[in-house]
Each structure stands twice: as C-alpha cells, then as structure tokens.
Structure 1
C-alpha cells in the first residue's frame, strides 16, 4: 500500500495535529513492535492495555504517523499525529476507503465452523488462474479484517477474506469494510450462542455478509446444513448450494476415504469431476465443494482448480496428523464447537486400532453448554471411540453423554491439561490414534506437545 498522511487523515475522518502531510504511509500496524519507517500505528484501547502508551516507541522506530484519541502527545521531528474520536473506528473507515480503490473481486468467507480451512481452499482453487490475496491466519475480526484490506495491491487479481463475528452488528460492519461481491457460508452452528441467543439470530447476522451484494453477486451455501437449507429459494440474490443432497448444484457423490485422503466425484451442470483432497472428513468435502463453486463462478477451469486442491495442506492445529512413537496424533487443538467436535470424532473413528479422544471444554455456549457437551459425548460413543479423556468442568458432560450410550466406555475426567498429560503418558501405547480437541482458551496444544515429547 502507499498513501500519504493527508490521505490517511481524510479517509479516516481524522484531523492532522502535526507532522508532514505529504509523508508516505506504506503499512498499517496495531502492534507497536511491528512499527518501522512508513508505518501508521493504530493504538487500540483494550481491557488491560491502552496502546497509546506505545506512541513514543513507534515514532522512535521511525513510524511515519499514528492515530490518537489523545491530543497531548507531541511527536519529534516530522512524525505525524492524526486525532480521531475512536482509533478502532478510524482504522475501519480507513480500511473501507482503501478497499474501494480495489476493483477486482472479493470473496467473503463466514460460518460457525470451517472458515479458515474454507478460506485456504478457496484461495488455493482460485490460484489456478489468479494472483490471490487472502486473510493471513484467522485475522477475521473487527481489527483483523481492516488490516487484511491493506494487503490489497496492484498485483492482487482476487481477494479471499475471512469474516468472523460473535456479537450483533459485527458482520454488517465487516461487510461495509470488505464489501465482498461473492461469499461462502459454511454452516450455522451454536458458536457464540451465548451472545446471539439463537441459531436463527446467528444465521440472520451472518447473512449481513451480503449487505453490499450487486446483481452479479453470488452466495455459496452448504446445502447439507439444516439451517442454511431453509434459505433455498428465499434470498433476493443468486445462490448456489454445495453438498451431498440431490438438489445441490455442486454435489459430491461416491465419497470415499483412503490413505489419509477424501476422494469424491463432483457433479455439476451435467458433468462429473474427480476430486481428491489430502485431508479427512465429510466436512472437508463440503469445504472443497465450496472452493470449486467459487472457482467456477470466477471462471477458473474446474480441473485446474481441483488439481490445486489436491495440494492442500492443513494449517497448524487444524487436524494436523503427526506420527510419533508408533502412534498417530490428530492435532485439532486450535478451537472447538459442537459441529467441529463431531466432525473430528468421525475422522478419529475412520482410523483402525485403538481410538483415544482427548476432548476439552467448548467455550461461549452459554445455556446450551451442558447439552452440547453431552451430545458430543453421545456422538463419541456412537462413532466408536475406544477411550475418552475429558479436560475441564464443562467437558465432564461429554463423559456423561458417552456413558448414556455405552456405560462400559472407559472415560477419565480431568480438571487440567497437566492431569490429563500425566494420565495419557501412562495410557497411550504404539498403535493408538489420538484426537486432541478443545476451545482455544483451553490450550490443549499443550497436550499435543506433551504426547509428541514422550512418544
């Protein structure tokens, strides 16, 4: 990116307090440690820290400018200070204005589960024809999406932007910033139901991703999701459904798992395309279908897009498979929700030999938490888990649900990662397949590291 200080002030509705208005800004940072010559620093006020205290440090590092909600600090030399009422809102206004300088297609990705994986697959499929800019990691928040917009440049031919929300109004705000003309909605689960109260509210809020749609826009929906399937024929813009249902326009048939891969045939428009993706689980098939649908909509050769998807590699802590000490460890420790937990259990139970599920609390489920954890326990027992280990107060209900289905299923309830790690050290043996999954706040990546260390 390259804008002047004057442009940054105008685009953010800010007021230049001091400094050279003609200085160039070449990057936007919210982390003071990333400040460098050409940076515009956006100090965010958080619950624990007000980043305004780092303004002197970023200027010492050579930053060109900084937003501020305070007008007392005077930077040295020609460094520019731009006064704004709210730095986060100013960042969002600046990002929205910068986004509108880009004229290529933007694809938004949302859903309760699978956003990051689908974003990666969509970007990979589109790369068969285009130079793609995509969200880095899971920068899908009220700050992350604006920062993603500044990665748009003259080389970008299409952009894939992950868009998350947990509160009322957040998706509408992100849609104003990213302005996607195309979008994918992976599913409607109960993540963040503590804040949004019902699945209907979650779906309604996520549909705000289409706020800026034009007559040429397309929304891709998961037809196998019960909530999304109810939208069939009810939306005022073009929709395409992906899934295994006969009425889906991009449909997977002859689905098989073999040697760590999912193989299926995609039927679309009277034609059939063989597809192989090097990950396991029906949810991954749906993610791949969405990627192929977007590729087709944006005029990418489907065989070429499928060839790119065959190269897909899962991101860290997202169903990464490790082989160690004769054991197979499925590291799905990044995060957890009921739908994702069930999908991961199905993947675990596709493996032979003894299947050990290490499951921690799923957070932010509110009043639905106990039932959701019990349901996952029932699913674990029905799917064929051989040993169940739970971690955390909420996850104890997983064991309760599992015992409702199979009272003889070995279940151990642990209160901490340390307790679980010590138990697993004694339990595990060569030949075992171990799934580790829990909400990010449970830090169960520590469990994975511990297993790999002693294996």
Structure 2
C-alpha cells in the first residue's frame, strides 16, 4: 500500500488539526490495532463498549506511526499528523472504498445466512486456476475486518473474493458500498441473526443490501433451491440461479459422499463437469456450483476450473476430518452453527463410512433470541430422523435439542449436559474406538476445547 496522506484526508473528508506536520506524507499501512508494528502507518482509533483507541495515540510515534485520525478536536501527540473526523468507523469504510477504487480488478462479494466462508474459499480456489486471488482471511467480514482486507490488495492481485457478514440492517449495505463488488453471491436465507432482523423476510432484505454497492453492470448469483432466493422477482440486476433442480442453469446430480471427498456431476449452460472435491456434504456441491458460475462468467476454461476445484481444501473447524490414535474419527464443524448448517452436518455424519457408531455432539446455536428454543427443538426433531446412534446435547439452549429428539421417540439415545465441563467428565467414557463423532456448535461455545482433550492425532494426520 502506498497512499499520500493528502489524498486520504480528501477521501474521508477529514480536517488536519496540525497542518505543519502534513507535508507530502506517504502512508504504507492502515491500522486499527495499536499492538501491531505500525511503521509508516495511519492509525484509526475505534471506540467500543469497553475500549477507546484514542487512549493509545500518545504511544504510537515510537511504533512508527506518522498520522492518526481522531474524533476529538485535540492533538494528543504534536509529532503525529492528526486528522479530525466525526466518526472513525465511517472514515475506515470511506477510506476502504477509496483504496478499492485504485484497482480495476473484478471483485466478488459473498453473503448468506450460512456457507459464506466455504463458498468464499471454493470460489477463490476455482479462480486461482487462472488468476492471483486476494480473499478474506479468517472472519474479517465485518465493518472493521472488510476494510482491513481491502487494504491488503496489491498490484499483483488479479481478482478479489470478499466475504460480507452482518447482524443488523444496514451493515451489508455499508460493506458493499466500500467493496464495490462486480458480482454478488447469496448462498441462502436461513435464520441466523433472526433475533435482530425479525423474520426470514427481514434477513432476505438485509442480504439484498449487497446490491447497494454492486457495479451498474453487476450480476447476482443465488441459491435457487432456497425458497426465498428462488422466488426473487423484479430486481434491477440479472440473476443466475444454481441448485439441484434441472430448472436452474447451473445444477448438480449424482452426488455421492465418500469418506473424505464428495463427487457429483455438474451441468452448466455450456459444459458438464465430473467433479471430486476434497470436502464433505451436499452443501459443498452448492458452494461449488456458485464457484463454477462465477468462473464461467469470467471465461475460465474447463481445465482452469478443474484445476482450481482440485486445489480446494476445507478450513479447519469446517467439516475438518481428524483421525485419532484411539481409532476415533472426528468431524470438526465447530466454527459456527445455525439450524441449516446443523442439518447439513448431520447429513454428512449420517452418510459417513463407519465401523463403530455415529455420534453427534451438538451445542448451543447463539444469536437466535426469542426464537432460540423453538429452533433448537426443530434441530432435535430433525436429528431424531437421521440414521445415527446417539446425541450429546451440550449447553443451556441445547436442552431443547434433546427435547426435540425425545419428542419423536427416536431409537437413538440422547443425553443433555448443561455445560461443557459436565460433558467433558463423561466424554471419554461415551466415545469408543471406531466411532465417528460430529462436533457442531456456535463459535462462542468453543467446542475446540473439547476436541483438544479427546485424544492425540494419528502421526499421519499431523
């Protein structure tokens, strides 16, 4: 990154409080974390419920910072060029938009209730069959993370794949207007964050905010099998749908889940692909359909697309398979959870090759608000219909998963544990050699703490 400070001030409509420090300062990095090495950087102090980045400004010169934003009309360090703005969070988004506009590369924005990260990863993998790809890393998909992701764009990048998350109305709109996508991908509309958005129709409205920053020549690619996305009408932008139905221009059939990969036949308006992807579950075929739709839109060849699919590897804690020395197979899908992703994970467990038992360790799904008990109960009812052997429901809300299982008089056994600690006491007694065990819960449950104590990984899995 190389930006003149004068251009930054103009882009964010800022006011320099000590112009004698301005000169022609060159900024080589944008930072919001004062703990980083900040040489040549502009610091953007953010305020939160329990912190205020302004308190760190006097310490920044020693770390190499040359300028700082501020919401206070006061120069806290006379050696730093100090730029006043009304709202530093908004300035961060404004600056991200300005920086993104320095690049003419295609940018694909991805949102949805579930599957955003997996879809982002497979799209990035497929496009890497031809191009140098920049993508969102980790969970940098919010109003802080997305700008920081955009600031890492470099001249050698040829395409960007950016994830957009949200909790409330207006957030996707602000992210889209910063990222300025050429293609918007919506994976589905489920129930995540329904406590803030009121209904699935509200969630759809929030997801469609991705069009607020979409290029005038832009395109929407959506999951046509989703009831709300499949019935979209009267949109300003053209829409391409994908799914398992032959009525969609991009559809899949002959889906088979194997021990460590999934195969399928994918049909597009111009080609047919026999794919093998190193990931588990029907939902990954949906993600691959979206990726192929993006790639064909940009003219990638069959060879380039196939090479990209072959390069895909699932991120950890997202359907990650681990074999323990004790002979137990773990399916770690504990990065996050919603009713839709719970059901998808249970389908994977149901079809996974197994000599012992198939067990599900299911934890709380958070951010469901007043809908939480009923949504957990529905997951339990769905679980009761799966061909698995047992369920451990872990957490306060997970008791409703257990209630859902019990309400169906399921053949499988099911037990509820109020806390992870109580489950941990019995875990090794419950899980036996040759069992296949699914761990699934919202990120806040920190199920990796359970997995870490379960056993050692086989040498060839390290």
Q: TM-score range by the shorter chain?
A: over 0.9
Alignment-derived partner of residue 412 in structure 1: 415
Alignment-derived partner of residue 96 in structure 2: 95
Alignment-derived partner of residue 354 in structure 1: 357
Counterpart check, 1:441 vs 2:440: no
- Aligned counterparts of 1:323 and 1:218: Cα–Cα separation in 2: 42
Alignment-derived partner of residue 394 in structure 1: 397
What's the CA shift for 1:76? 5.0
**Unpaired segments ≥5 residues, structure 2:** none
**Unpaired segments ≥5 residues, structure 1:** none
> Is the alpha carbon distance of 1:303 and 1:164 closer, same or farther for their aligned partners in structure 2, counting shifts above 3 Å?
same
Alignment-derived partner of residue 305 in structure 1: 305
Question: Could you report, residue by residue, the CA deviation over 1:357-414 in whole angstroms, capped at 9, with x for unpaired residues?
Answer: 1111101112221111111111112112211111111110001111122344321211
- Aligned counterparts of 1:335 and 1:35: Cα–Cα separation in 2: 31
Question: Could you report, residue by residue, the CA deviation over 1:291-323 in whole angstroms, capped at 9, with x for unpaired residues?
Answer: 111011111113321222122111121111110
What's the CA shift for 1:356? 1.1
Q: 2:41 aligns with which of 22, 33, 39?
A: 39
Q: 2:260·2:321 contact (CA, 8 Å) conserved in 1?
A: no
> Is the alpha carbon distance of 1:160 and 1:454 closer, same or farther for their aligned partners in structure 2, counting shifts above 3 Å?
closer
Q: 2:37·2:63 contact (CA, 8 Å) conserved in 1?
A: yes
Moved more, 347-356 or 322-331: 347-356
Correspondences of 1:75-86 after superposition (within 5 Å): 75=77, 77=79, 79-86=80-87
Correspondences of 1:267-346 after superposition (within 5 Å): 267-269=267-269, 271-324=271-324, 325-346=326-347
Count of residues paired in the alignment = 453
Q: Secondary structure at the match of 1:113?
A: coil
Correspondences of 1:152-301 after superposition (within 5 Å): 152-214=153-215, 216-231=217-232, 233-269=233-269, 271-301=271-301
> Is the alpha carbon distance of 1:209 and 1:413 closer, same or farther for their aligned partners in structure 2, counting shifts above 3 Å?
same
Moved more, 12-21 or 125-134: 12-21
What's the CA shift for 1:270? 5.2
Correspondences of 1:413-428 after superposition (within 5 Å): 413-428=416-431
- Aligned counterparts of 1:214 and 1:108: Cα–Cα separation in 2: 11
Alignment-derived partner of residue 26 in structure 1: 28
Q: 1:276·1:306 contact (CA, 8 Å) conserved in 2?
A: no
Q: Secondary structure at the match of 1:234?
A: coil
Question: Could you report, residue by residue, the CA deviation over 1:302-345 in whole angstroms, capped at 9, with x for unpaired residues?
Answer: 33212221221111211111100200011111111110011011
Question: Could you report, residue by residue, the CA deviation over 1:216-257 in whole angstroms, capped at 9, with x for unpaired residues?
Answer: 3211111121111111x5323211111111111111111111
Q: 2:178·2:213 contact (CA, 8 Å) conserved in 1?
A: no
> Is the alpha carbon distance of 1:358 and 1:21 closer, same or farther for their aligned partners in structure 2, counting shifts above 3 Å?
farther
Q: Secondary structure at the match of 1:342?
A: helix
- Aligned counterparts of 1:400 and 1:289: Cα–Cα separation in 2: 36
Q: 2:385·2:410 contact (CA, 8 Å) conserved in 1?
A: no
> Is the alpha carbon distance of 1:429 and 1:454 closer, same or farther for their aligned partners in structure 2, counting shifts above 3 Å?
farther
Q: Secondary structure at the match of 2:220?
A: strand
What's the CA shift for 1:454? 9.7
What's the CA shift for 1:453? 4.9
What's the CA shift for 1:209? 0.6
Q: 1:35·1:41 contact (CA, 8 Å) conserved in 2?
A: no
Q: Secondary structure at the match of 1:34?
A: coil
Q: 1:374·1:397 contact (CA, 8 Å) conserved in 2?
A: yes
Counterpart check, 1:429 vs 2:432: yes
